[in-house]
């Protein structure tokens, strides 16, 4: 897993990362091969990003300049992810345990993508500082920002689409622009969306939500009754959006099995002595099936990310959490202190 640190304007951050990749021999000439349909869809989406998130277009342009690769096909390649291409797994939970507020997510994907995973510290001139994980360069799949808002996605198979934001850039957009769950939900309602996904949100104030969304509909799911947790895997739950779930089979990538495992663990356990360790036990499969995929699938948990939002303690397993230990990541708290010291001068 790469650990880039990016700072500056969006163009500067993109240029720095693209140049670094180019110097390390990364070329996209044989990777990006777009059909006419993909090119047209990407360009239509690009016009919407110009309207809603112009600075991310600057970053994509900076990265394409650094990579010495034409901007438009590179942008279309990134913006089309999730509409054309690979399927994702993923399990995400958030819960309250006493005074602790925990957000935790496994990223499940085909094993060959392990070599392109990254955990990036992003310190934009215009936007909130955050640590985000991803496997697709500019966009992110999970992370937490300086205000204690955590955002993650779980993929849902698409059966309706139209040009708009994919999940990678939804997560990135919310991390940069939202302080809390309420703000994030409000922003989501104003975004054109092209992919189908659950967007899991939790903040340091104890608010949490799963936003089940696609190109046609947005539905917000909150904890019910006395429950203080939420779970999302790779299917929709809310009845009003089920018709937009394009899963090819009922327990696709064991989505329902993973959902049940996490639900049961969180429902049966209260006041756990170590909330981060409890999240690790769930995501590492100690309490039932979550990440124990058969090797012949060539599909695995590529990383596992956990953050305690009340103090921004981050731990991450840079591999399958059933076999790879979690390690602490202090980059976000370092960046917050540095920012505070700079502003205090």
pLDDT in tens, 42-63: 999 999 999 999 999 999 999 9
Q: pLDDT band for 199, please (50, 70, 90 cuts).
A: very high
Q: What is the pLDDT of residue 341?
A: 82
* Alpha-carbon span 144 to 332, nearest angstrom: 9
Q: What is the mean pLDDT of residues 101-120?
A: 92
Straight-line distance from the first to the last Cα atom of the chain, in angstroms, rounded to the nearest whole number: 35
The pLDDT of residue 188 = 98
Burial class of residue 6 in the structure, from the number of CB atoms within 10 Å of its CB (0-12 exposed, 13-18 middle, 19+ buried): middle
Domain borders along the chain are 8-79, 91-344
pLDDT at 11 over 60: yes
pTM: 0.95
pLDDT digits 0-9 by tens, 215-268:
999 999 999 988 999 999 999 999 999 999 999 888 988 999 999 999 999 998
Beta-bridged to residue 8, according to DSSP, are: 124
Q: What is the mean pLDDT of residues 135-140?
A: 94
Whether 318 has a pLDDT exceeding 80, the answer reads yes
Mean pLDDT, rounded, for 26-48: 94
**β-pair type (5-8, 118-124):** parallel
Multiple choice CATH, 91-344, 3.40.600.10, 1.10.3470.10, 3.60.60.10, 1.10.3720.10: 3.60.60.10
Is the confidence at residue 86, as pLDDT, over 80? Answer: no
Residues paired with 304 in a beta bridge: 106, 317
- Which string of b and e fits 212-221 if b means at least 16 CB within 10 Å? bbbbebebbb
Burial track 156-176 (b if 16+ CB lie within 10 A, e otherwise): bbbeebebbbbbbbbbbbbbb
pLDDT of 80 above 70: yes
What does the block give as tokens for 140?
């992110």
């Amino acid at each position: 897993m790469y650990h880039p640190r990016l700072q500056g304007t969006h163009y500067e951050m993109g240029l720095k990362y693209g140049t670094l990749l180019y110097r390390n021999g990364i070329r996209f000439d044989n990777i990006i091969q777009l059909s006419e349909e993909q090119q047209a869809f990407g360009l239509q989406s690009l016009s919407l990003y110009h309207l809603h998130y112009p600075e991310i277009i600057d970053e994509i342009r900076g990265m394409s300049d650094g990579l010495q690769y034409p901007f438009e096909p590179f942008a279309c390649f990134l913006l089309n992810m999730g509409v054309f291409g690979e399927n994702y797994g993923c399990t995400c939970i958030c819960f309250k345990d006493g005074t602790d507020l925990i957000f935790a997510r496994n990223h499940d994907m085909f094993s060959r993508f392990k070599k392109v995973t990254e955990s990036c510290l992003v310190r934009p001139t215009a936007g909130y500082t955050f640590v985000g994980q991803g496997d697709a360069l500019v966009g992110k799949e999970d992370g937490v920002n300086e205000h204690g808002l955590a955002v993650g996605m779980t993929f849902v198979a698409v059966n309706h689409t139209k040009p708009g934001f994919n999940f990678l850039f939804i997560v990135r957009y919310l991390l940069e622009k939202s302080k809390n769950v309420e703000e994030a939900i409000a922003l989501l309602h104003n975004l054109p969306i092209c992919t189908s996904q659950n967007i899991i949100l939790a903040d340091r104030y104890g608010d949490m939500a799963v936003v089940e969304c696609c190109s046609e509909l947005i539905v917000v799911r909150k904890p019910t009754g006395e429950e203080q947790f939420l779970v999302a895997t790779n299917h929709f739950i809310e009845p009003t959006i089920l018709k937009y779930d394009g899963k090819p089979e009922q327990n696709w990538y064991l989505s329902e099995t993973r959902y049940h495992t996490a639900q049961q663990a969180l429902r049966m356990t209260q006041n756990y002595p170590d909330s981060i360790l409890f999240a690790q036990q769930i995501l590492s499969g100690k309490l039932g099936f979550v990440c124990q995929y058969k090797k012949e699938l060539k599909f695995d948990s590529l990383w596992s990310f956990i953050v305690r939002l009340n103090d921004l303690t981050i731990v991450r397993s840079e591999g399958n959490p059933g076999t790879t230990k979690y390690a602490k990541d202090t980059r976000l708290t370092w960046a917050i202190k540095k920012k505070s010291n700079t502003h205090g001068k």
